[in-house]
Amino acid sequence: MKEYLRYFRFWFLALGIAALVWLVVFVGNRALDETTERTNTECTTTERVFDFGEALTEEEENRLREQIAEREEQTGADIVIVTLNESLEEYARSYDPYADYSEFTMIYADNFYDENKFGYNKPIGDGILLLDNLYREDDGKVYTWLCTTGKVEDRYSVGMIDSILDLFYEYVDSDPYRAYSEFIDRFYRDMTGNDSLEIPWYMAPFAAFIVTIIFAAVNLTSAKGRKTTNTRSYVNGGKPDIRRKEDIFLRKSVTSRTIETSSSSGGGHSGGGGGHHTSSGGHSHGGGGHSR
């Protein structure tokens, strides 16, 4: 019986690993499926994609709406996308006569969020709004603003805001749809802390099978190639003659240099609440902007 168990031990271990892989995938997918219920009943609209700048096709808008609906339940936060193609100078300076060009999109985004009472948990509550204005202002730049509110404001540091906007800017000029889709998924990962690959439940047995085959093949191959000799097999008298060899430390030389770093844009502090400010309506928001 012992010989039988010893002979098949690799296969037993392989089956155990397969079961573990399946369990990890199953539990992981169950965790990804966890959702929260939306409790804001005062939001003035169910729309989430406002393509006033006509950057997307109708089909792309619908696909983004479906993606947003799923990610909102998983993150417990409203996700809003707005595109424009118009100067915001007159609009922004009606609220703040001294507003800088870089603040135009911030003022519009904050007001748009407040006026529509977005927020997953309550009016002007947990959520994020990405505003991309395609219009080139008089200073020659195109501006984008990310507005964070509630728990999203608490979660997002200045560095995280810069990072998600960098990702958006990587694709926005060549493929706007991909830019918005990548933004939504990155927001989901940032809020949930889940960076793992989502594996459909029906792929779990297949993944376990592949891991089992690889494990068995590696171990069976190594078992066939075990050593039949040792360090004394070909030594006369069974005693090796070891000649002494030393490394002598002579001196050391240390070179140092200073690595300069640049601060992140967007204001705020390095923890949560990056870019914290108060909107013209008196509500707390975080956020940051980029230009191109």
Q: What is the pLDDT of residue 248?
A: 52
Q: What is the pLDDT of residue 194?
A: 82
CB 48 within 8 A of CB 180: no
Q: What is the pLDDT of residue 27?
A: 46
Biggest CA pair distance of the chain: 98
Helices 176-192, 58-75: axis angle to 10 degrees equals 0
pLDDT digit string (tens) for the chain, length 292 residues: 556 555 555 555 656 665 555 444 444 444 455 788 999 999 999 999 999 999 999 999 999 999 999 999 999 999 999 999 999 999 999 999 999 999 999 999 999 999 999 999 999 999 999 999 999 999 999 999 999 999 999 999 999 999 999 999 999 999 999 999 999 999 999 999 986 545 554 555 666 567 666 755 666 565 555 555 555 555 556 565 556 555 554 454 444 343 333 333 443 333 456 889 999 999 999 999 999 9
Classify residue 275 by its DSSP letter: T
Q: What is the pLDDT of residue 6?
A: 59
Residue whose tokens read 């990072």: 163
Q: What is the pLDDT of residue 207?
A: 60
Gyration radius of the chain's alpha carbons: 29
Domains of the chain: 39-198+280-291 (3.10.310.50)
Q: What is the pLDDT of residue 256?
A: 39
Residues near 118 by beta carbon (within 8 Å), at least 6 away in sequence: 40, 43, 78, 80, 124, 125, 127, 129, 149
